[in-house]
Amino acid sequence: MGVDGSLRPHVEELFHYLTRKDHNIYIWSGNGIRTKDIEKHQLSNFVTGYFEKPVHDYWANTSKLPTEDQPNMVIDDNLEIVAVLGGIWVNQYYFPNKADIEMKAVKEIIAEIELSGTSEDPRFRKLKF
C-alpha cells in the first residue's frame, strides 16, 4: 500500500491467483498489524493471518513464529529481509500509480517457481525456509 493508504495495482489479482493455488497469505508490516487496512480494501477473505514484521535479526525473529506460520516465500520492498529469508523483492510503492506492474511481475515469478522450482528474475532470492 502507498503512504496515503492506496492499494497497489494488481494486488487483488495476485491474491486471487495465490488462493486458487492453495497458498496462504500472511500480511506483515513493520508498521504494526494491518488488519484494518486490508479490510478497507476488502481483501480480508484472502488473508490467513497478520504479523508485525521483524525490523532486525530477521532470521531469528521469523524463526520464533509457530512452524505453520513461518513464511516460505517473502514478498517485500525491503531487499535486506528478502536476501536473508528468500523470496521476491519489489520496488517500494508510495503514491497511486496506475502504471505500476510489480504485482504482475510477482505473479509471473511465482508461476515460474511453481513450474521449475526457481526463477531467473533478479528480484528472486533463493528460499531459506
Asked whether the beta carbons of 47 and 26 are under 8 A apart, the reply is: yes
Higher pLDDT, 19 or 34: 19
Percent of the chain at pLDDT above 90? 68
Question: What is the pTM assigned to this prediction?
Answer: 0.88
Q: Which residue has the higher pLDDT, 68 or 25?
A: 25
Nearest C-alpha neighbor of 113 from the set 95, 125, 101, 129: 125
The domain segmentation of the chain, as residue ranges, is 11-125
96 pLDDT more than 70: yes
Tell me the pLDDT band of 128, cut-offs 50, 70 and 90.
Answer: confident
Evaluate if residue 124 carries a pLDDT over 90.
Answer: yes
Instruction: Give 30-78 pLDDT, tens digit per residue.
Output: 887 888 999 999 999 999 999 888 887 888 778 777 677 777 889 999 9
Instruction: Assess whether pLDDT exceeds 70 at residue 129.
Output: no
Measured between alpha carbons, how far is 69 from 122 in angstroms, rounded to an integer? 26
Residue 33: predicted pLDDT: 86
Interval 105-111 mean pLDDT? 97
Cell numbers for 2, please give them: 502507498
Cα–Cα distance for residue pair 103/57, rounded to 1 Å? 27
